[in-house]
Each structure stands twice: as C-alpha cells, then as structure tokens.
C-alpha cells in the first residue's frame, strides 16, 4: 500500500515561485507521469517528494502521514536519477547494496537481496563490474536495481531515459512497464517526452509554469485536452490551431466559419460563449484528411515521406498546417490540396485558451494502461 | 621619529610618507612587478605555443621547462647569485668571456635587473604551465575552420589562439601580481635590498623597518600601505573570479 | 615554387603569403626537427640552473669554483659534509613536520567548509568565498609586525607549532578554494543518491565525497605542501634555530662565510628534489586549483 497526496504544495527560490500550489493524488500501484516542458517545475516537484528539496508550504502525505520533515532516506522511497548517479568507485553489487550497508544489514542478507534484484533486471553477470565498464542501458538497470533493493513504497524516476539513444529508450520503456507490473509498486515518473508519458502512464500530470494544467489518463488528455497548452503538448506532431469565426451556437454544438469561407458544426458546448467570441479550432495532424471536397485549402511546402505515413506541411495563408496522410499519397511539393476533418475530432478553444467541453465522450478516454492489462488477461482466460 | 610610547595618531603615516625610502621602494616594486609580468606573459605565451606543437620528447621538455616554479625561492636566488651571476666564477661570466666579452658584475652594476631575471625565471614556468593548459582546451575544430578560411599559423595565433588565451592571461597577470608585490626571499638572500635602496621593494622596506630598525609603528603603517596596494589588485582579481563563478 | 610565389610583391593581398604557408609545412619532417631543436634548447636553457646546481653538488669545493666544466670526477663528499656538519636532517625534519602538519590541519578544516559551500550553498556563499580569497592577497609583510608581537608574547616564536599555525592560515583560503573547485565538479546526484540510500552527512563525506574526489584532495594537499615547503618569508622571520626549516637553512648560505658552493648545491638539491617531483606529478590539477577553476 502506498498512496501519496500533495496538498497546496509551493516552492520558491528567493523570489521565483517554481511551484505554485499543487494538489495531487497518487493512488496505490499507480504509474503517474509528470510531464511538461523544461522549467515547468516537474523535477522540483519530484525532488520535494523525495525529500531532496523542502516544500516552501503545503503538505506531502504518504499513506496518510505528513512527511514534510522526514529525511529522504526515511520516507520509504527510492529514486532513479537522470544521470543514474551510480557510485563510480563501487562495483554493481556494492552500488545496489549501499543502502543496506548503511542500515547495517548483515552481509549475507545483503547479497541475497542484491541477487534477487539482479535477477529481475538480468544483471547477475555484471555484479563485479564498476559502473565505468557498463553500457548506458546497463547503468540504467543498475540504477533501477539500486532502487528495487530498497523495497520502496514508491519509486521515483527523474527523466531516467533521457541519456539513452532512441532505440534503447524504446526498449527500456517496455522494460519499465513490465517492471511496474512485476513489482506492483507505485511509481512516479518525470519526463519532458510526451511519448514516454503516453506509453507508460496510468495517469499523466501535465505541468506548466509550476501549475498543474491537467490530470488524466493518456487517452483523456489526447482526446479531451482541457486547454490549448495541453492540446499542443500532448500528441506528436503538434496539433494544428486555426483562428475561426463563431457563426452560432446550438444544442448539438457550435457552428464555426472556417478560413476560406466554409462552415462546420463542432459538437462542443458553446452555451457560455458570447456572441462575437474569438475561437480557435484545434485539429491534430492525423485527423486532417485529404479530401478534394474538403473545406480547407493550401499549398504543400514540404513533404516528408516516412514510408507508412507522409507528413505534409501545407501553407494556408499565413499559417503552416501539418497533415499526417497515408504513405501512398501521390502529391508533390507545391501541389494545391484540399482537406477537411471530422467535426467530432476537432477541438475548440475560447479566447483564454480553455477548451469548450466536448459533447461526445471518446470511448477510450477513460482507459488506462491498467485497463489494457485487464482486458488482455480476460482474453487469455 | 614619533614618540616611543602612547598613541601616535597619524604620526606614523606622516613620517612614512615623508620617508624618501618609501617612494623609492614603491618605484622598485612597480618596476619589478612590471618587468617580470611583461617577460613572463609574453615569454609564456610564445613558449606555450611552442610546447603545444608536436615534437619528439615534448613531454619531457615541458616538464623541464616548468621545473623552476617548484624550486624554493631561497634556493633559486642563491643558485643564480653564486653559480650563474657570480662575477668571476659564474656561468654567465664564463659564457661572456668565452665570447670575448667583459664579465658583468651583475649584483653591483645591474642589481634590479638581476633580481628581475631571477624572479622572471621562477615565474615564466608558471605562465607557461597555465597558458599551456588553457591552450589544450582550444577547440581543434576552430583552428581547422580558420585554416579552411585560409588562415596561416600567424593569423591563427592572433585571431584564434590569443583571444582564446585572453582569460588565462588575465589569470596569470592577477595571480603573479599578488605574489610579485610581496617578493621577499629573493632580495633577502641576494642583495639585501642594496646597493643602497636599489633593490628594496615595499615588502623588504617594511621588513627593514620592523625587524632591523625595530620601528614597529612605521612598519605597521607600511604594512597598511602594502595591504591597500594589494587590495587594489585584489578587487580586480575578485571581480574576475566572480565573473568566472557565474558561468 | 614557394619562393616564386612569395616573391610577388605589392599588388597581392595579405592572404597570398598566408596561403603559401601550407607549402612550408609540406616538409613536416624538417618542421618537426626544427621544432624539436627549438623546444629542447629552450627547455634546457630554462632548466640549466637546476641542472647546474645538481651537478655542482657532486663536485668538490675546488671544482665547484673552477671554470665551469661538465667533466669532473663526481663525489658525494658535499652531501656527506652537509649531513655531518650542519645538522641538515634537523632542518629537513622541520620542513617535513611543518609542511605536512599545516597541510593536514588545513585539510581537516577545509574539507567540511568546502563541502558545505559546494553542496549547501546559501546566498552569501559566493561572497564568503571571495572574501576568503581576498585575504590571500593580503601581503604577509603587512601583518608581520602584529604576528611577530603576538607570537613573541605567547611563546610561539621559533616553534614548529607557530609555523604550522601560520602556514595553515596562509594556505587555508587556497585549500578551501581548490577543494571547492573539485567538489563543485562532482555530480550532486551521487550525493543525493547517497542521501536517498540513507547516508548521514558524515557518511556522505567519508564514503562518497572523499573517495570520489581523492585525486583533487590529494593534489590540493600536495600544493599546500609545496607552498609551505617553499615558503621563505615567515620561516625567515619567525624562526631562528629550533624550528627553522630548509628555506631558512638554505638562506644561511647567503652570508659570505657560507660560500661553499658544492655544499650549498648538495643541500639545495636535497631540499628541492621531493617538491620538484611532487610538482611534476600534480601540475595539471595544480593549474586548476591555482586559477580557481578558471583554466582547465
């Protein structure tokens, strides 16, 4: 059992407010990812949970106990650092056993626990090596092993994959997801990479300028971003934003006037909108469809063929729009193309950047990674 | 001389400032510092460029060249005084004679020059050591880019190497200044400040007043002057180091 | 080809002679040989006084003042004489005691200070460090009189303890600074990982910081030893017979009656040899320490 609550946490360095009052609930065995651009405060938040940084105000509560004044080693947490922070002068075994050595655990017992962890991570053949003699991925695993050995109630990962190359990152991502299932522990994970967030999280916390923008499952954030920042941050390539005019609002949604003159009705709740509100339409590149009858038109400036997919960068007046199209599209640079979108896939943002609530709940929006698992378990039965 | 007991007010300072020895010592100090700085910085830069080049046995040559820095000042002063610059038996006069030149009595005819040579010999390796290290952090790509742009060795030195060394050179100047302002042992064992006051710098003057004349008040006043002088240098050094801390 | 090109005068821009230079480099063999000759000549000239001193130490007194010559029959009699007559060992012992004593003391004080400054900085840390540095610039001669008077009154004149105290104070700013520079370079993460693993501050310093910065601590210590060993101002002024280290002993050769070159050379060689070797070994780290990290 390990739950974590943050209550009105703030952190200031001198006059800069890095964290501006964060409330958060992490449930038992949950994989929570803090994601946000650099400087958003995600690492600071994690370091406060770890106890490496003190909170300026607010409560940090683990399993119902306020632990603001408890030292980092006594919070029952383990942390995997971005740089791995292995002790360079110790062997892998000593690295993993250091916490137990400090706690005066007998040698035999120490070795036993290290071996167990090493087995999980396939580190047995490396136990006598020094970190210098390990590859990046192996160091990463030792750092994780060092955390496992402590048997923590909550694992903290501070951008653990950012020092690995792309291929290894994919592999470690899978390994971490597997580890989460195997250890059945609560994990908090910091990253600036929204792909890592999307692939691993049960719950994503999007941070921006020291504040929580949105908390939700990956699919929820993808399909129902609550504001323009989250919409732009989650999803790759980035969502396209177009300024549109408000035609009228009605029970089934909001009718908007598109650049180029067409109109379209988006199923969103526009009841709060004033008559002449400025609106922004957001459509993800993968939801823009090439269509000779489509309401939008532009000229292709750049064309990136990835094989299975083709990215089109289309000039629409002042605006550059990205379209993810099929790999087989025959267009060339400087072709004029028409395109459109399904209204249910579109998002509307008001002048303050807030999303108009969608009238259609996406069927997968409540899905978490855990649900994926349960479903597959059920299939195998 | 101020009264021997009681509070003297500014009397010591007044007396000090009217002491012609003070101004002579200040002049000597500045000459010594200025010349040694000039020799070591220019020489050190050139030597650093030389020892940066690849040649057989470079490592050993480097080690030989930086060695004087580790020699204790009393030893180097005595070696120079007795074995290098001795008017009749020194190596320098022997060299001069074998070229048919008259031997020079270094310490009586060129006392300050002799001190400058000794001190520069000790500090040239320091400049070389620092500048050579700084040189090794010069980005090879930069040099190659310059070469692609058509720069020859001389142009590379002036447009790439020297700007790169700027910071290291200022460090050398500042640190040497701190130590050079208080040169003592070299004068103590060679000329004892003479002949006359020819090689008496501020440090040595204070020493004379304090421990030879037992004029503690005046020596202390001199000490304060020395501290003020050094602090002027220190302000610059501290500023520079502070800037370095920012990075 | 080179000559025909460089001969063209006037109308050419400066770029031409520069462009022609690479053809000078076309014979790397000759260029390398020239560099080697030049480099070695200069290195030997600079090193010559030390070389000559070592050589003279193996001569007889008569040979030492004779015309300079590389050919002589080497003898150890000067070394023998230095040992027997002047109690060289006592001075050397003083030097060792004072240099290592002050270094040890300085490290014991400086390691905790540098630790807190590097890893637990406050707003005033930088200012404190710079202030410490500025005390290093205080010319020793400025405080000679007060220190002399204090030492006389408390009976520290001409004692090893007195010299150790002065040297510790003299080197402390530089030692703290160097350690700070080295500690600063150590990834903070590792200490934090240690803290997460349950290490106390003392354990952090003993098990992680010190083993990991050992090369830095060692070279800091060595620099402190070198500075103390070579220090002449305080040793000349605060000691006379009991606690006089080698610097003072060597200085005594400056008096006219002490003009025994071979013995002077032998004694000097013994005095500088250990430090010279230490200096060679630690030159690289010393640069960083001496320039407070400005030059790496």
**What is the pLDDT averaged over residues C178-201?**
88
Distance from CA of C54 to the nearest CA of B (A): 10
| Residue C81 included in any domain | no
Give pLDDT < 50 ranges for chain A: 375-381
In a domain? residue C79: no
A14 touches chain C (CB under 8 A): yes
State both tokens at B34.
């200025």
Q: What is the DSSP letter of B199?
A: T
**Per-residue pLDDT, C140:** 74
User: Is C133 touching A (CB cutoff 8 A)?
Assistant: no
pLDDT at position A376, please? 43
Residue of B40, B42, B58, B78 to mutate for C, most C C-beta atoms under 10 A: B78
**Mean pLDDT across B128-134:** 87
Q: Does residue C7 belong to any structural domain of this protein? A: no
Partners of C56 on chain B (C-beta within 8 Å) are: 83
* Number of domains, chain A: 2
Distance separating alpha carbons of residues A62 and A60, to the nearest angstrom? 7
pLDDT in tens, A261-276: 888 888 988 887 877 7
Which residue matches tokens 């920042």? A229
Residue C251 near chain B (CB below 8 Å): yes
| DSSP conformation class of A265 | E
Domain that holds residue C230: 87-251
Q: Is A288 left (phi over 0), alpha (psi -120 to 50) or beta?
A: beta
To probe the interface with B, which of C48, C69, C144, C238 has the most B CB atoms within 10 Å? C144
Residue A158 and residue A101 share a domain: yes
Q: The domain containing residue A288 runs over which residues?
A: 230-349
Does A70 reach chain C within 8 Å, measured CB to CB?
no
The set of chains that have 3 or more CB pairs under 8 A with B is: C
- φ, ψ for residue B19 (rounded to 5)? -80, 115
**Mutating which of B82, B183, B191 best tests the C interface, going by the most C Cβ atoms within 10 A?**
B82
Res. C6 pLDDT band, cuts 50 70 90 = very low
Whether residue A92 is found in the same domain as residue A120: yes
User: What is the pLDDT at residue C7?
Assistant: 40
* Residue C275 domain-assigned (yes or no): no
> Is A259 in the same domain as A221?
no
Domain CATH for C164: 1.10.3720.10
pTM: 0.77
- ipTM value, please give it: 0.81
Q: Rounded to whole angstroms, how far apart are CA atoms B61 and A30?
A: 64
Q: Give Cβ neighbours of residue A223 (< 8 Å, ≥ 6 apart).
A: A358, A362, A364, A365
Which of A229, A259, A287 terminates a domain? The answer is A229
Q: Return the CATH number at A136.
A: 3.40.50.300
Q: Note whether A240 and A140 are same-domain residues.
A: no
Give me the domains of chain B, ranges plus CATH numbers.
11-246 (1.10.3720.10)
Tokens 């004087």 belong to which residue? B68
Structural tokens at position C36: 């080697």
Q: Which letter, b or e, does each residue of A101-131 get, where b requires 16 or more Cβ atoms within 10 Å of its Cβ?
A: bbeebeeeebbebbeebbeebebeebbebbb
Looking at the structure, do residues A161 and A196 belong to the same domain, yes or no?
yes
Question: Which residue in chain C has the smallest CA separation from B57?
Answer: C36
Q: Is residue A367 part of a domain?
A: no
Residue A113 belongs to a domain:
yes
Looking at the structure, do residues A114 and A183 belong to the same domain, yes or no?
Answer: yes
- Number of B/C CB contacts below 8 angstroms equals 249
User: What pLDDT band is residue B147 in, cutting at 50, 70 and 90?
Assistant: confident
Does position C106 have pLDDT exceeding 90, yes or no? yes
| Coil, helix or strand at residue C105 | helix
Report the pLDDT averaged over residues B78-91: 81
One domain, residues A242 and A168: no
> How far is Cα of residue A75 from the mean position of the Cα atoms in its chain?
25
Residue at C131 is within a domain: yes
Both A225 and A341 in a single domain? no
Does A92 lie in the same domain as A186?
yes
Euclidean distance between CA atoms C102 and C167, whole angstroms: 6
**Sheet containing A4-13: which strands, arranged edge to edge?**
A16-26, A4-13, A57-62, A65-66
The per-residue pLDDT for range A178-189, each reduced to its tens digit, is: 888 888 889 999
A139, part of any domain: yes
- Decide if A53 contacts A92 (C-beta within 8 A): no
Closest residue on chain B to C38 (Cα): B50
Report chain C's C-alpha Rg in angstroms.
26
Enter the tokens of residue B133: 């290290």
CB-based contact, C26 to chain A, within 8 Å: no
- Which DSSP symbol is given to B171? H
> According to the model, what pLDDT value does residue A341 have?
92
Inter-chain residue contact B244 with C67, CB threshold 8 Å: no
Q: Can you tell me the mean pLDDT for B153-178?
A: 82
pLDDT at residue B5 in the model? 58
For residue C232, is it within any domain? yes
- Nearest-CA residue of chain A relative to C190? A85
Higher pLDDT, C34 or B18: C34
For residue A190, the model assigns a pLDDT of: 94
Joined together, the tokens standing for residue B171 give: 């460090």
In this predicted structure, the answer to whether residue C122 has a pLDDT above a threshold of 80 is yes
> What chain B residue is nearest to C45 in terms of C-alpha separation?
B65
- The pLDDT of residue A48 is 92
Output B214 or B245, whichever has higher pLDDT. Answer: B214
Q: Which of C77-86, C158-167, C241-250 has the lowest mean pLDDT?
A: C77-86
Q: How far is C147 from chain B (nearest CA, A)?
A: 11
For C197, the closest chain A residue by CA position comes to A99
pLDDT number for residue C171? 87
Interface of C with B in 208-227 (CB under 8 A): 226
Nearest by CB to A52, which of C187, C192, C203?
A: C192
All chains having 3 or more CB pairs closer than 8 angstroms to chain C: A, B
DSSP A6-37: EEEEEEEETTEEEEEEEEEEE-TT-EEEEE-S
Q: Are B32 and B115 in contact (CB under 8 A)?
A: yes
Contacts with A54 (C-beta within 8 Å, 6 or more apart), sequence order: A48, A68
Q: Looking at the domain assignment, is residue C28 inside a domain? A: no
| A81 in reach of chain C (CB within 8 A) | yes
Q: Tell me the CATH number at A255.
A: 2.40.50.140
Indicate whether A357 belongs to any domain: no
- Give the total number of structural domains in chain C: 1
pLDDT tens digits, B197-230: 888 888 888 888 777 777 777 777 777 777 777 7
Number of H helices, E strands in chain A: 9, 20
**C233 found inside a domain:** yes
C29 reaches B (C-beta below 8 A): no
- Residue A262, domain member (yes or no): yes
B129 vs C18, C130, C287: nearest CB: C287
Query: What pLDDT is attached to residue A373?
Result: 57
Whether residue A282 sits in one domain with residue A135: no
Concatenating the DSSP letter of every residue in B116-133 gives HHHHHHHHHHHHHHHHHH
Are the C-beta atoms of A347 and A318 separated by less than 8 Å?
no
Cβ of residue A99 closer than 8 Å to a chain C Cβ: yes
Of all residues in chain A, the percent with pLDDT exceeding 90 is 46
Compute the average pLDDT of residues C174-194.
87
Beta bridge partners, A246, equal A256
Is the same domain home to A46 and A11? Answer: yes
* Percent of chain C topping pLDDT 70: 81
Query: How would you classify residue B169: left for phi > 0, otherwise alpha for psi between -120 and 50, otherwise beta?
Result: alpha
Nearest CA in chain C to A81: C189
CB contact under 8 A, C42 and B47: yes
């Amino acid at each position: 059992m390990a739950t974590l609550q943050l209550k009105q946490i703030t952190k200031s360095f001198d006059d800069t407010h890095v964290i501006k009052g964060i409330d958060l609930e992490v449930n038992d065995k949950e994989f929570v990812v803090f994601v946000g651009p650099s400087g958003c405060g995600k690492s600071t938040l994690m370091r406060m949970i770890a106890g490496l940084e003190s909170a300026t105000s607010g409560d940090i509560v683990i399993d119902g106990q306020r632990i603001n004044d408890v030292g980092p080693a006594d919070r029952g947490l383990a942390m995997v650092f971005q740089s791995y922070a292995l002790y360079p002068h110790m062997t892998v075994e000593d690295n993993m056993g250091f916490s137990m050595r400090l706690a005066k655990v007998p040698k035999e017992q120490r070795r036993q626990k290290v071996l167990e962890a090493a087995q999980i991570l396939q580190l047995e053949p490396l136990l006598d090596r020094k970190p210098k003699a390990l590859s990046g991925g192996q160091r990463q695993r030792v750092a994780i092993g060092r955390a496992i050995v402590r048997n923590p109630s909550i694992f903290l990962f501070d951008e653990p994959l950012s020092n690995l190359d792309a291929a290894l990152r994919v592999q470690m991502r899978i390994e971490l997801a597997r580890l989460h299932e195997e250890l059945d522990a609560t994990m908090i994970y910091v990253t600036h990479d929204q792909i890592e967030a999307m692939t691993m999280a049960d719950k994503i916390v999007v941070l921006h300028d020291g504040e929580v923008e949105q908390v939700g499952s990956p699919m929820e954030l993808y399909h129902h971003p609550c504001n323009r920042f989250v919409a732009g941050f989650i999803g790759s390539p980035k969502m396209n934003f177009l300024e549109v005019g408000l035609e009228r609002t009605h029970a089934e949604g909001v009718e908007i006037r598109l650049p180029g003159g067409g109109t379209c009705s988006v199923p969103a709740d526009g009841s709060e909108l004033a008559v002449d509100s400025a609106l922004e339409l957001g459509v993800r590149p993968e939801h823009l469809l090439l269509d000779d009858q489509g309401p939008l038109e532009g000229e292709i400036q750049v064309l990136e063929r990835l094989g299975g997919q083709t990215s089109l960068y289309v000039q629409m007046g002042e605006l550059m729009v990205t379209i993810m199209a099929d790999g087989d599209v025959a267009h060339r640079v400087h072709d004029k193309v028409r395109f459109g979108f399904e209204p249910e896939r579109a998002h509307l943002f008001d002048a303050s950047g807030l999303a108009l609530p969608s009238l259609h709940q996406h069927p997968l929006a409540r899905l978490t990674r855990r649900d994926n698992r349960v479903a597959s378990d059920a299939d195998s039965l | 001389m101020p009264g021997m007991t009681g509070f003297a007010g500014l009397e010591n300072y007044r007396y000090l400032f009217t002491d012609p020895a003070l101004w002579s010592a200040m002049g000597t100090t500045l000459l010594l510092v200025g010349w040694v700085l000039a020799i070591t910085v220019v020489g050190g830069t050139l030597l650093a460029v030389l020892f940066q080049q690849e040649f057989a046995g470079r490592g050993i040559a480097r080690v030989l060249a930086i060695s004087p820095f580790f020699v204790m000042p009393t030893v180097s002063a005595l070696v120079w005084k007795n074995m290098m610059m001795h008017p009749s038996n020194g190596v320098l006069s022997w060299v001069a004679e074998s070229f048919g030149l008259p031997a020079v009595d270094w310490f009586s005819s060129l006392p300050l020059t002799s001190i400058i040579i000794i001190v520069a010999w000790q500090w040239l390796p320091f400049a070389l050591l620092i500048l050579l290290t700084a040189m090794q952090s010069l980005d090879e790509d930069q040099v190659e880019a310059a070469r692609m742009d058509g720069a020859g060795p001389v142009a590379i030195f002036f447009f790439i190497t020297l700007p790169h060394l700027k910071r290291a050179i200022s460090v050398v100047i500042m640190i040497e200044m701190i130590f050079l302002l208080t040169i003592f042992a070299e004068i103590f064992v060679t000329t004892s400040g003479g002949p006359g006051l020819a090689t008496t710098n501020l440090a040595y003057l204070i020493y004379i007043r304090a421990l030879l004349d037992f004029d503690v008040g005046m020596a202390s006043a001199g000490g304060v002057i020395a501290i003020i002088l050094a602090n002027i240098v220190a302000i610059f050094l501290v500023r520079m180091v502070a800037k370095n801390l920012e990075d | 080809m080179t000559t025909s090109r460089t001969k063209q005068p006037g109308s050419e821009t400066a770029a031409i002679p520069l462009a022609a230079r690479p053809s000078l480099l076309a014979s790397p063999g000759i260029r390398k040989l020239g560099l080697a000759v030049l480099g070695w000549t200069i290195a030997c000239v600079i090193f010559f006084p030390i070389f000559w001193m070592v050589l003279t130490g193996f001569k007889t007194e008569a040979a030492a003042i004779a015309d300079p010559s590389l050919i002589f029959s080497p003898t150890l009699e000067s070394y023998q004489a230095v040992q027997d007559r002047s109690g060289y060992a006592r001075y050397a012992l003083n030097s060792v005691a004072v240099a290592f004593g002050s270094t040890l003391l300085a490290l014991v004080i400086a390691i905790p200070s540098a630790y807190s400054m590097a890893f637990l900085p406050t707003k005033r840390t930088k200012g404190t460090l710079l202030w410490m540095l500025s005390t290093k610039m205080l010319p020793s001669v400025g405080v000679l009189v007060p220190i002399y008077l204090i030492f006389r009154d408390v009976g520290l004149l001409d004692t090893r303890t007195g010299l150790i105290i002065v040297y510790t104070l003299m080197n402390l700013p530089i030692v703290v600074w160097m350690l700070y520079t080295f500690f600063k370079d150590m990834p903070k993460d590792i200490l934090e990982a240690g803290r997460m693993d349950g290490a106390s501050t003392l354990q952090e310093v003993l098990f992680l910081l010190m083993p990991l910065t050992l090369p830095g601590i060692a070279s800091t210590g060595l620099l402190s030893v070198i500075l103390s060993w070579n220090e002449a101002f305080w040793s000349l002024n605060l000691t006379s017979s009991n606690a006089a280290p080698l610097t003072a002993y060597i200085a005594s050769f400056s008096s006219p009656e002490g003009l025994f070159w071979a013995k002077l050379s032998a004694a000097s060689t013994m005095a500088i040899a250990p430090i010279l070797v230490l200096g060679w070994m630690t030159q690289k780290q010393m640069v960083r320490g001496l320039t407070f990290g400005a030059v790496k």
